[in-house]
C-alpha cells in the first residue's frame, strides 16, 4: 500500500497521543518503558523502509534544524528522516541566522513556533536548548549539547537490541571521557535495566547529577552502576564496549594534554580481551584510529559502528513521528 495499513495507523495514533508536543532534551525525559516503545517503533519503521513501504506520517510538517556545531550523521539522519516521513527539513546555521547577531533565543523560539512544527538544535550549551524549549510552542529535540546527546543513545540502544536481542541484564562498559555521550548512555542504559560501568581518568568523571540518576535507575532494576578509574575493571564481562573521542568539539586546545591523560584508556585488543567473547563495540563517530580506539577493534569483527550510525536515521524517525505526528 502507498500509505501505512490501518492496523499500523491505529497503533501509531494511540502511541502519538501520549508523546505529541513533548520535548526530547535528555534521556531522562523518557521512562524506561517509553524508551523501549520508541525503539520498537524505530525497528518497525526501519523494516518498512527496507521493504520500500511509504510511511508519510509527517506530510505537510516542517522541522527547523539549527546547527551551531558541524555535523554529518545528525544533519543527514534528520534531513533524510523528515523526507522519508513526508515532511520538510529546514537547515539553519547559527551564523546564517540572527542568532549570530545577538537575537535572544527566546525570540527565536517564539518566531519559529509560528512557522514550523518542530525544532531540532545542535549546539554547545545545554542551557540554550532548555531555554529554547521553554519559550517554544512546538517540540524541541536535542541534536547534541555539551551535556547530553540523547538521539545518539537511542540509536545505540537500538543497535544493541538488534545485535543482542535484548537490553535488560546486559552489561555496557564506557571507557574514556565522562562527556555528553557518556551522560546520555548512563541514563538511557540504566533506565532499560542494563548494568552500567564507566571508566574515566581522575578528574574526567561524569557529572554527579547524571551519576545519581543512573544510580537510582539501576537500583530500581536491581542492577549495578560502577564508576571506576580502572578500564579493565569496567570492561570485564561486558556485553557492549563503548568509547568516544578524547577531545570533543570545543576542546581542541586541550587535545595534546588529553592524549597524554587518556592513553591508558585506549580501547585496544588487550582491553577488550576482558569483555565477553561475543561483545560488540560502539562508537558514535567520527573516530580517531590509534587514539581512543585501535583499528583492530573498530574495524574488527566485533565492531557495529556503521550499523550504529545508520540507526541514527531510524531512531530519529521514531522520535519525530511521536513528537510531531
Looking at the annotation, which residues are catalytic?
122, 149, 152, 244, 284, 312
As a whole number of Å, the end-to-end CA separation of the chain is 20
Helices (H), the chain: 6-17, 32-50, 73-84, 105-113, 126-135, 150-164, 180-191, 208-221, 231-235, 255-262, 269-272, 295-298, 305-324
Q: Is 98 annotated as a binding residue?
A: yes
Q: Is 182 annotated as a binding residue?
A: no
Quote the cell numbers at residue 76: 543527514
Q: Is 285 annotated as a binding residue?
A: yes
Q: Is 284 annotated as a binding residue?
A: yes
Q: Is 248 annotated as a binding residue?
A: yes
Q: Is 208 annotated as a binding residue?
A: no
- Phi first, then psi, for residue 64 (nearest 5°) are -80, 130
In order of 136, 223, 230, 237, the CA distances from 196 in angstroms are 34, 8, 14, 11
Q: Classify the C-alpha dihedral 200-202-205-209 as positive or negative.
A: positive
The secondary structure of residue 117, as a DSSP letter, is S
Q: Is 219 annotated as a binding residue?
A: no
Q: Is 151 annotated as a binding residue?
A: yes
Q: Rounded CA gap, 311 and 43, in Å?
A: 9
Q: Is 74 annotated as a binding residue?
A: yes
Q: Is 72 annotated as a binding residue?
A: yes
Q: Is 163 annotated as a binding residue?
A: no
Q: Is 244 annotated as a binding residue?
A: yes
Q: Classify the C-alpha dihedral 171-241-257-152 as positive or negative.
A: negative
**163 closest CA partner among 286, 23, 281, 269:** 281
Q: Is 166 annotated as a binding residue?
A: no
Q: Rounded CA gap, 172 and 25, in Å?
A: 23
Q: Rounded CA gap, 25 and 235, in Å?
A: 29
Q: Is 152 annotated as a binding residue?
A: yes
Cite the annotated binding site for L-ornithine by residue number: 180, 244, 248-249
Residue positions forming the annotated binding site for carbamoyl phosphate: 71-74, 98, 122, 149-152, 284-285, 312
Binding site: residue ranges? 71-74, 98, 122, 149-152, 180, 244, 248-249, 284-285, 312
Amino acid at each position: 500500500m502507498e500509505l501505512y495499513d490501518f492496523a499500523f495507523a491505529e497503533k501509531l495514533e494511540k502511541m502519538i497521543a501520549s508523546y505529541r508536543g513533548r520535548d526530547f532534551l535528555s534521556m531522562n525525559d523518557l521512562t524506561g518503558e517509553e524508551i523501549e516503545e520508541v525503539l520498537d517503533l524505530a525497528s518497525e519503521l526501519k523494516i518498512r523502509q527496507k521493504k520500500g513501504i511509504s510511511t508519510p506520517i509527517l506530510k505537510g510538517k516542517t522541522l527547523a534544524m539549527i546547527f551551531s556545531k558541524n555535523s554529518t550523521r545528525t544533519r543527514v539522519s534528520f534531513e533524510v528522516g523528515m523526507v522519508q516521513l513526508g515532511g520538510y527539513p529546514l537547515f539553519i546555521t547559527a551564523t546564517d541566522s540572527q542568532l549570530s547577531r545577538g537575537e535572544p533565543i527566546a525570540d527565536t523560539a517564539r518566531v519559529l513556533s509560528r512557522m514550523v512544527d518542530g525544532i531540532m538544535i545542535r549546539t554547545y550549551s545545554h542551557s540554550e536548548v532548555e531555554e529554547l524549549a521553554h519559550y517554544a510552542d512546538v517540540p524541541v529535540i536535542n541534536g547534541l549539547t555539551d551535556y547530553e546527546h540523547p538521539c545518539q543513545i537511542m540509536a545505540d540502544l537500538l543497535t544493541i537490541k538488534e545485535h543482542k536481542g535484548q537490553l535488560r541484564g546486559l552489561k555496557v562498559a564506557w571507557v574514556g571521557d565522562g562527556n555528553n555521550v557518556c551522560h546520555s548512555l548512563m541514563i538511557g542504559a540504566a533506565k532499560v535495566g542494563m548494568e552500567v560501568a564507566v571508566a574515566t581518568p581522575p578528574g574526567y568523571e561524569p557529572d554527579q547529577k547524571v551519576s545519581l540518576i543512573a544510580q537510582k535507575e539501576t537500583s530500581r532494576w536491581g542492577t549495578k552502576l560502577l564508576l571506576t578509574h580502572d578500564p579493565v575493571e569496567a570492561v570485564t564481562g561486558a556485553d557492549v564496549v563503548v568509547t568516544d573521542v578524547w577531545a570533543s568539539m570545543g576542546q581542541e586546545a586541550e587535545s595534546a594534554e588529553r592524549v597524554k591523560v587518556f592513553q591508558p584508556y585506549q580501547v585496544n585488543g588487550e582491553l577488550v580481551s576482558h569483555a565477553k567473547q561475543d561483545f560488540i563495540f560502539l562508537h558514535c563517530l567520527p573516530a580517531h584510529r590509534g587514539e581512543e580506539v585501535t583499528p583492530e577493534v573498530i574495524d574488527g569483527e566485533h565492531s557495529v559502528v556503521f550499523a550504529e550510525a545508520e540507526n541514527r536515521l531510524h531512531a530519529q524517525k521514531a522520535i519525530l513521528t511521536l513528537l510531531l505526528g
